[in-house]
Amino acid sequence: MGLTKAKKDQSIKLIITKPGSFTVDANGNILSSTLPLSVPDKFIEIIIHNVLETFLTARASGLIFEEVIIQFIGLKIVAREMRGGALIHLTPLKP
């Protein structure tokens, strides 16, 4: 079990090395960002989609949230809802 976990942790790739934030509107357009240009667009695109989807589907289930924190072993995503859009903060975590 311990070995499996260690092997799993080694497969973590830190796409971002420093914390950074960005804001998006309700349509998913980036309004401002402090992330370096080296961060892949697809990575940001999926985070935006997932964050907005999480807020929207929760609301559809009768749960209204203002903040969501998603914790992976190698990454922490904190998103605050802003009039349908969001302020998203990414922090790399060292496994």
Partner 1 sequence: MSDKPKILILDDEEDLLATYKDLLTNLPSKPEIYTTTNGARAVAMLDAEQFSLLITDLHMPEIDGFQVLAIVRRRFPELKILAISSVLEEQYRARAYSLGVDMCWQKPGTENEIKMFFDCIESLLEERPSEGFRGIQNKSLVDLIQLECICRNSTTLKVISGGIEGKIYILDGEIIDAEFGNLTGDIAFKKLISLKKGSFEYLPAVTERERKIFSSTDGLLLDAAQTIDETTAEDKSEVPDASETGDRTALVKPVIAMSKIDGVDFILIGELKSPQPSDSWGVDDSKNLHKWISNTVQLWRSFGDKFLCGELKDIFLYGHHCKVVLKTKENKLLCAGFKATVNNETIPNLMKDVIALWV
Question: Residues interacting with partner 1, by CB under 8 A?
Answer: 8-9, 11-13, 15, 43, 46-47, 50, 53-54, 57-58, 60-75, 95
**10 or 32: CB nearest partner 1:** 10
CB of 12 to partner 1, least distance (A): 4
- The C-alpha atoms of residue 76 and residue 29 are separated, in whole angstroms, by 21
31 versus 56: smaller Cβ distance to partner 1? 56
d(CA 82, CA 8) in angstroms, rounded, equals 35
CB nearer to partner 1: pick between 23 and 54: 54
| Rg (the chain; Cα; Å) | 15
Quick check: 90 and 24 in contact, CB under 8 A? no
